[in-house]
């Protein structure tokens, strides 16, 4: 049987941290013009990991009974006791607030709002079909926060990048949610996939990812990035096309594979393109 640390990582899907982290780091690098201070970089990393961990633990607590009834998530509650999840939630939240306070005054004042936003996503499925967009918002505040960590104010560039992240996350979450189409309908959960149907949901995901690509190009223009960055956007577009081709087969294994591989590739390419652009100037 896996040890407690492995079970904890499985509970919070730690590997999925790679989705949002590169966008936060990319924003930080651009804001610092390629050379973020080591202290700021480390504190941003702590904030990112702690906030996402707290958000996932809060989600597991809120959906504890719901997950037990869903065949896809029925074993989650066996990984750790509910009391341990609650204690770990308090620790992760405190760590995030402490790290944010150590960066600058604005990140400290905004840190409770950031936690509220990432927690709020977990309850949205109970009253709105727009839950996918709230998940996008929860991840989109990461690049804004990283920008503020470096400059102590916000500019248009990270806001445009945040719009792209919202569309990207909402799009891939729509694809992922097709797996729960029957369960959500049976449980009476607010689901855009149930409301629109699988085919129309997949078309909406395509539109959202097209908007995301436009937003990434606009971010490059606002941040005055160069040809390396724009060239990398072709790789991002190719990965999104692959994801949607896999989703059309409506095969659970293919969706899960495309979900992780394509989106991890998109975020990694974005960060690599930003780093290369800044380093080769």
pLDDT tens per residue, range 216-241: 999 999 999 999 999 999 999 999 99
Model pLDDT, residue 233: 97
Which residue is it, tokens 């248009």? 156
Architecture of domain 4-279: Orthogonal Bundle (1.10)
Model pLDDT, residue 79: 58
CA nearest to 195, candidates 129, 121, 127: 129
Model pLDDT, residue 220: 97
Domain ranges in the chain? 4-279
Q: Is 2 left (phi over 0), alpha (psi -120 to 50) or beta?
A: beta
CA distances (Å), origin 233, targets 165, 221, 227, 264, 273: 14, 13, 10, 14, 9
Which residue is it, tokens 């997949």? 202
Model pLDDT, residue 97: 97
CA–CA separation, 100 and 148 (whole Å): 11
pLDDT along the chain (281 residues), means of 10: 58 64 96 95 95 89 66 55 85 96 97 96 85 93 97 96 96 83 67 84 94 98 95 95 77 64 89 93 72
Model pLDDT, residue 116: 96
18 is written with which tokens?
């790679």
Model pLDDT, residue 1: 44
């Amino acid at each position: 049987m896996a040890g407690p640390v492995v079970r904890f990582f499985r509970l919070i899907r730690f590997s999925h941290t790679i989705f949002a982290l590169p966008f936060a780091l990319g924003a930080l690098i651009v804001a610092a013009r390629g050379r973020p201070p080591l202290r700021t970089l480390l504190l941003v990393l702590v904030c990112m990991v702690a906030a996402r961990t707290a958000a996932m633990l809060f989600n597991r607590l809120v959906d504890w009974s719901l997950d037990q009834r869903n065949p896809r998530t029925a074993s989650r509650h066996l990984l750790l006791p509910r009391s341990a999840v609650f204690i770990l939630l308090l620790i992760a939240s405190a760590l995030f607030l402490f790290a944010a306070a150590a960066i600058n005054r604005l990140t400290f004042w905004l840190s409770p709002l950031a936690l509220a936003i990432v927690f709020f996503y977990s309850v949205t499925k109970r009253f709105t079909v727009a839950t996918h967009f709230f998940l996008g918002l929860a991840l989109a505040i990461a690049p804004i926060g990283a920008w503020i960590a470096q400059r102590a104010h916000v500019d248009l560039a990270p806001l445009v990048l945040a719009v792209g992240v919202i569309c990207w996350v909402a799009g891939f979450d729509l694809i992922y949610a097709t797996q729960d189409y029957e369960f959500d309908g049976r449980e009476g959960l607010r689901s855009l996939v149930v409301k629109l149907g699988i085919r129309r949901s997949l078309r909406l995901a395509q539109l959202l990812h097209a908007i995301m690509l436009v937003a990434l190009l606009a971010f490059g223009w606002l941040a005055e990035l160069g040809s390396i960055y724009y060239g990398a956007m072709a790789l991002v577009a190719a990965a999104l096309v692959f994801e949607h081709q896999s989703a059309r087969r409506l095969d659970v294994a293919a969706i899960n594979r495309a979900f992780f591989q394509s989106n991890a590739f998109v975020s990694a390419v974005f960060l690599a393109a930003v780093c290369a652009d800044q380093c080769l100037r």
